[in-house]
Amino acid sequence: MDDLNSAIRRRRLPSLPALRAFEAAARHSSAKRAALELSVTPTAISHQIRQLEEALGISLFLRKPRRLILTSQGRELMVVLGESFDAIAGVINRLRSTAARDTVTVSTTPAVASRWLLPRVCILRESHPQLDLRIHVSHEPVTLDGVTADVAIRYGRGPWPGLASEKLFDNVFIPACSPALKLRRRVDLPRHTLIHCGLPPAGRGPMEWATWQRHARVPGLDVATGLNVSDETLAISAALDGQGIALMSRLLIMDELRSGRLIQPFGPSLDGDPFHLVYPDARADDPRITAIRQWVKRLLEDMCADRGDGSSPMADGAPR
């Protein structure tokens, strides 16, 4: 209580309207222009300044015809009030700006986040500049409760109870490597390092070399050997560095395939589970979720346009 009383005594300030009237008059050197700024009469401004001078026991202005001139005490008070009102205005503007913004959290795998969404965030900002995007990465589905995440891009076939789902695209996995390996024929594959995604025994990747080998039947290929990494993004980086050949989602390496930094030397290509956009049924009309749906749809349309044939962005046209 003593601390509170001390703070109250320290802050025995004159009335805020009087301080505002003085600061405006000092800035304009005119009671009339101050009155226009504060939407009051010049008489009200003069009255507030007189009250302030009486409360302080000093003169703040030398009054000249059609002009107010600050005294030394007036200049001292003006500096403090100007800085204080500017600081208050800055905080108020920032709070108003923050309150006007919305935030939406999208949950997806690390690879989809880094390889597909993040490079295209500018498209969302252009169409929804007041929407702040947060990306939550996880290999496991998370609760779409509006706290952890609002909407998700999930790999699988569903259904997901309580969630609306929209199929985005079929997912095709291909063997891909750096052209520096000079790998062209399947029969040469046993001489190269296989890159596995998913560290055993903790977990498995979405597509395994053992599954691919059941279709390809490459003589002498040992699918139990090679380099093991925990995430698709690491597998892509290793392949780009020429560390070996990996089974990768074509969607996630489309840019590298177009540029020639990665190649698909041979088939077969394998169909994996599709990607879906999922969100709570009850929030289907939420403007933030609608914005994400529109954004993802735009990304898919752009991928189709890049192919130039209007087909599914993951249509399988690669060599087998």
pTM: 0.61
* CATH code for the domain of 229: 3.40.190.10
Q: 184 and 269 in contact (C-beta within 8 Å)?
A: no
Reduced to 3 states (helix: H, G, I; strand: E, B; else coil), residue 58 is: coil
Which of 85-94, 154-163, 276-285, 299-308 bottoms out in mean pLDDT, i.e. has the lowest?
299-308
Name the residue range of residue 286's domain. Answer: 102-170+275-307
**Of 225, 221, 222, 220, nearest to 200 (Cα)?**
225
d(CA 220, CA 75): 90
Instruction: Identify whether 315 is part of a domain.
Output: no
Model confidence pLDDT, tens digit, residues 129-185:
888 999 999 888 888 988 899 999 998 887 888 899 999 888 899 999 999 999 999
Instruction: Identify whether 317 is part of a domain.
Output: no
- How high is the pLDDT of residue 37? 86
Structural domain ending residue among the three candidates 76, 99, 122: 99
Which of 177-186, 236-245, 303-312 bottoms out in mean pLDDT, i.e. has the lowest?
303-312
Q: Which residue has the tokens 């050197």?
A: 29
Question: Are 91 and 125 within one domain?
Answer: no
Give 176's strand partners: 246
Model confidence pLDDT, tens digit, residues 102-141:
899 999 988 899 988 988 899 998 888 888 999 999 888 8
Q: 120 and 167 in contact (C-beta within 8 Å)?
A: no
- How high is the pLDDT of residue 170? 85
d(CA 207, CA 297): 26
Instruction: Identify whether 228 is part of a domain.
Output: yes
* Long-range contacts from 234-242, C-beta under 8 angstroms, 24+ separation: 234/197, 235/195, 235/196, 235/197, 235/205, 236/111, 236/115, 236/262, 238/195, 239/176, 239/177, 239/178, 239/195, 240/178, 241/178, 242/177, 242/178, 242/180, 242/181
Question: Are 51 and 41 within one domain?
Answer: yes
Question: Are 211 and 294 within one domain?
Answer: no
User: Quick one: tokens of 270?
Assistant: 């394998």
